[in-house]
Chain A
Amino acid sequence: MDISAIDNSFLKHGTKYKGILGWLMSTDHKRIGLMYMYAIMIFFVVGGLLGGLMRLELFRPGQDYITAQTYNAVFTVHGVIMIFLVVIPGLAAVFGNILMPIMIGARDVAFPKLNLFSFYIYVLGAILAIASQFLGKGAPDTGWTFYAPYSTDTNTNVVAAVLAAFVLGFSSILTGLNFIVTIHRMRAPGMTWFKMPLFPWSLYATAWIQLLATPIVGITLLMIIAERWFKIGFFDPNLGGDPILFQHLFWIYSHPAVYVMILPAMGVITEIIPTFSQKRIFGYKAIVFSSVAIAAVGYLVWGHHMYTAGMSTTARWFFSLLTFIVAVPSAIKVFNWISTMYKGSINLQPPFYFTMAFVFNFMIGGLTGLVLGSLATDIHVHDTAFVVAHFHYIIFGGMGFAFLAAIHYWFPKIYGRMYNNKLANISCAFIFGGFTLLYFPQFIIGMQGMPRRYFDYLPQYEWAQVFSFFGAIVLAVGVIIMLFNLIKSARKGAIAGPNPWNGKTLEWTIASPPTVENFEEIPVITEGPYEYK
């Protein structure tokens, strides 16, 4: 095969600008998506190193390498970077941008300039987040949750960090708006709602959450700033405010935000399984409706983060009941994924291995979520290492593995080249093994009562910290192998061709990498997205 496809692609042709400016000024959804990807990868490595620093400090009890104050700043920054700069934009900003327009048969998103603008808001937010670590009286030490009145009281540089989260929220809102309009207005002729592939569907549900829930956290963060600067009492009891109000407002956003993270991940998995099983997805409509149900009911369960926070008893059991109900659509998706494999012709390629790891991790994350949704058991494990483990199983084991699956799935489409399969499988094994070794022990010490955000701990919890530390090392080795493989292959890999996996969705009908315009002629859609014969 020749490399003319790469020479004709969006990678080589952009705007009127040349070189780096051709990227920075480009309104091409694919270039913007790639810029997000590079930024997110860098922040992921930074956030991961901070996580490693915590594991190193926790390796033995007592103070070893950093002080308690530094440790508190490190877990705050780790949380802020990972949540606001990596996971929330994550799949939607990267693969949503690069692939969603192609998958619905469009040449770009509805508002390409707004799309570039969203990217720059993201960059501004990122700069603020990093600046907050160095400016003023020390790095923020509140945790990514910014609970009042600690956050309105502490001496550290909370305002800058809060402002960063506020600015990043706007980027998220605008991306959501852009996607909603794109999906409503720009589907190819003949692509009815129920002929649309499921990744765009999941982005559509996600976009509504971004649009409706993000403003709430924006206002809340502004209230913190108003309280700190102008002494207006919203949350601080010394000023007549109510600390619990903060928790309500924070979780009204932050619970749905979990779905901003995980719904697109489910969408990715829903694309990969049919392709590598060469089968129609089982229960297309059930998957659509469960995405919409998750987005809708997900607004009403925030109180499960506050069972111990002095809510009324009625509120506590009601939130618990709703939380259990919202678990069902996620379970349905798992059943659908596994039944899609039934009688397929399964091609065991790296994206599929990552997908299997995702399904396994996601089940553990989901089932331990039930422990946290249940009243009596949550009272015991709330705010312990159990929550830390559950959260990382959903976000890293779920969203993170889906992200890695997505990279390996669409890599040949984006770069026109293929990576080394064997290395990819080895990196998958290391990442999965390291991940399990790192987080699984935390479930157990959480059940034994080890609280989270502890700089130091009682001797009975030491064994798990040792396991976790070695898990982190294995995980890091896996990430290094993976990055090495991908970076090298993006330049030197074998030419992949337009459809290396025999996929059916529209992105596999065009050149790899796509041209600037994506389609020479907009296709007319006559059948569903996964019509394997």
Chain B
Amino acid sequence: MLLQVASNFVEGVDKAFFIIMGIGVIFLVGLTTLMLVFVFKYNKKKHPKAVQVKERMILEVTWTAIPLLIVGFMFYYGYIAFMPMRNAPDDAIQVTAVGKMWEWNFIYANGKESKKLVVPFNKAVNLKLISLDVVHSLYIPAYRIKEDMVKGEEGFMWFIPTQKGRFDILCAEYCGVRHSYMSSEVDVIDEDKFNLWLTIIDKKSNKEELPGFLVLKNNACTGCHSLDGTKLVGPSFKGLYGRSEIVLTNDVERNIKVDEEYIKASIVNPDIDVVKDYNKGLMKSYQTVLKDEEIQQIIEYFKTPDEK
């Protein structure tokens, strides 16, 4: 195939592809050739008088019955390659995959969190699928699997990685402005390395322990506002408090300093004072989403200085 072969499902899926496409190509080439032969042979110049042929029942019955059999055959191969995808083994490693605008988060049983999906080679992994906002779809092309993540519902997908290395994880269900950047990777490593990796739990900084940080993460604010200074859809949160910005108020530029007032106003009415070089209309008002208390927590978080 055109793609890496890296999970236990690849063989079945590729076989179904091969069978369906193979039969398809035979039909396409056969029927196209037939059509072209007729067009040449019975061209008006060579064949000035059409011959009216009698309809034959037997022909019509045959060409109904044979396609029925063929599609039955195709259905069968799709079915047997698919069914195992819905039956995860009980001893699979459980990981919770969280999708939100526009990043993935993988949470392991011992509480370890990671932006990449790190898994041991040749061991079954079962992903519990959760969305915090709109529909996303976790897609690993090299594994031939994909399943939607829907808020309020819990889905799953599972696989056994059969090759070490890194493979793309993409979001396949359209989810907004940074949909095409919602990617990550599976990192398949040896089991002993994996066990070691699992025990290293990054200590959260004191700032990340603040309740305001959780509010920002749970509402997917960080999908558009980076924490490390990268320019995304909106201005970065890094060093936000006390920063001077040029904002556009009714298309008039003015200088402001980011303070409590400005942060609150930007959460409630994001389109009033828009930082220069960023666009209006991309952020909705969080007035009805966030409690006053939560807005306070966010402000507290911004006020806390970064630690070195």
- Do A and B form a real pair? yes
B279 near A67: Cβ-Cβ < 8 Å: yes
B42 near A344: Cβ-Cβ < 8 Å: yes
Contacting residue for A367 out of B27, B86, B133, B168, CB 8 A: B27
B294 interface residue (CB < 8 Å to A): no
Distance between Cα atoms of A89 and B44 in the complex (Å): 36
Interface string of A342-382 (1 = CB under 8 A from B): 11111110000000100110011001101101111111101
Residues of B within 8 Å of A533, CB to CB, are: 52
B172 near A348: Cβ-Cβ < 8 Å: no
Distance between Cα atoms of A377 and B53 in the complex (Å): 41
A379 near B144: Cβ-Cβ < 8 Å: yes
Residue of B nearest to A533 (CB): B52
Contacting residue for A345 out of B2, B42, B178, CB 8 A: B42
B13 near A282: Cβ-Cβ < 8 Å: no
Residue of A nearest to B71 (CB): A324
Tell me the residues in window 304-355 of chain A with beta carbons closer than 8 Å to chain B beta carbons.
308-310, 313, 316-317, 320-321, 324-325, 327-328, 331-332, 334-335, 338-339, 341-348
Interface string of B73-89 (1 = CB under 8 A from A): 01101111111011000
B35 near A277: Cβ-Cβ < 8 Å: no
What is the CB-to-nearest-CB distance from B280 to chain A, in angstroms, rounded to a whole number?
A: 8
What is the CB-to-nearest-CB distance from B150 to chain A, in angstroms, rounded to a whole number?
A: 5
Query: Of A104-112, A179-187, A452-460, which stretch is located at the interface?
Result: A452-460
B147 interface residue (CB < 8 Å to A): yes
Residues of A within 8 Å of B177, CB to CB, are: 68-69, 72, 141
Distance between Cα atoms of A345 and B50 in the complex (Å): 5
Residues of A within 8 Å of B71, CB to CB, are: 324-325, 327-328, 370
What is the CB-to-nearest-CB distance from A342 to chain B, in angstroms, rounded to a whole number?
A: 6
Interface residues on B, range: 35 or more
Question: Which among A156, A313, A345, A452 has the greatest number of chain B C-beta atoms within 10 A?
Answer: A345
Tell me the residues in window 99-157 of chain A with beta carbons closer than 8 Å to chain B beta carbons.
137-138, 141-143, 147, 149-150, 153-156
Interface string of A74-117 (1 = CB under 8 A from B): 00000000000000000000000000000000000000000000
Residues of B within 8 Å of A449, CB to CB, are: 3, 139, 141-142, 168, 170
Give chain B's interface residues, CB within 8 Å of chain A.
1-3, 9, 12-13, 16-17, 20-21, 24-25, 27-28, 31-32, 34-35, 38-39, 42-44, 47-53, 55, 59-60, 63-64, 67-68, 71-72, 74-75, 77-83, 85-86, 133-135, 137, 139, 141-142, 144-148, 150-153, 155, 168, 170-181, 271, 279-284
A286 interface residue (CB < 8 Å to B): yes
Distance between Cα atoms of A371 and B24 in the complex (Å): 9
B50 near A279: Cβ-Cβ < 8 Å: yes
Residues of A within 8 Å of B141, CB to CB, are: 380, 448-449
Residues of B within 8 Å of A370, CB to CB, are: 20, 24, 71, 74
A317 near B180: Cβ-Cβ < 8 Å: no
What is the CB-to-nearest-CB distance from A3 to chain B, in angstroms, rounded to a whole number?
A: 29
B172 near A384: Cβ-Cβ < 8 Å: yes
Residue of A nearest to B149 (CB): A310
30 inter-chain pairs at a CB distance below 8 angstroms, sorted by A residue, are: A147-B174, A154-B284, A155-B284, A244-B150, A282-B53, A308-B137, A308-B148, A317-B82, A317-B83, A320-B78, A324-B74, A324-B75, A338-B38, A341-B38, A343-B51, A360-B32, A364-B28, A367-B21, A370-B74, A376-B80, A377-B13, A377-B16, A379-B85, A383-B137, A383-B172, A447-B3, A449-B141, A451-B172, A453-B180, A532-B52
Contacting residue for A363 out of B27, B39, B171, CB 8 A: B27
What is the CB-to-nearest-CB distance from B182 to chain A, in angstroms, rounded to a whole number?
A: 10
Residues of A within 8 Å of B86, CB to CB, are: 313
Distance between Cα atoms of A129 and B121 in the complex (Å): 52
Distance between Cα atoms of A368 and B177 in the complex (Å): 30
A383 near B173: Cβ-Cβ < 8 Å: yes
A189 interface residue (CB < 8 Å to B): no
Distance between Cα atoms of A357 and B63 in the complex (Å): 23
**Given contact pairs A309-B135, A449-B142, A453-B174, a sample of 6 additional A-B residue pairs in the complex whose CB atoms are under 8 Å apart:** A141-B176, A242-B153, A313-B86, A332-B60, A344-B47, A376-B9
Residue of A nearest to B24 (CB): A367
A343 near B20: Cβ-Cβ < 8 Å: no
The 9 closest A-B pairs by CB, nearest first: A449-B141, A374-B78, A237-B152, A376-B81, A367-B24, A375-B82, A454-B180, A324-B71, A383-B172
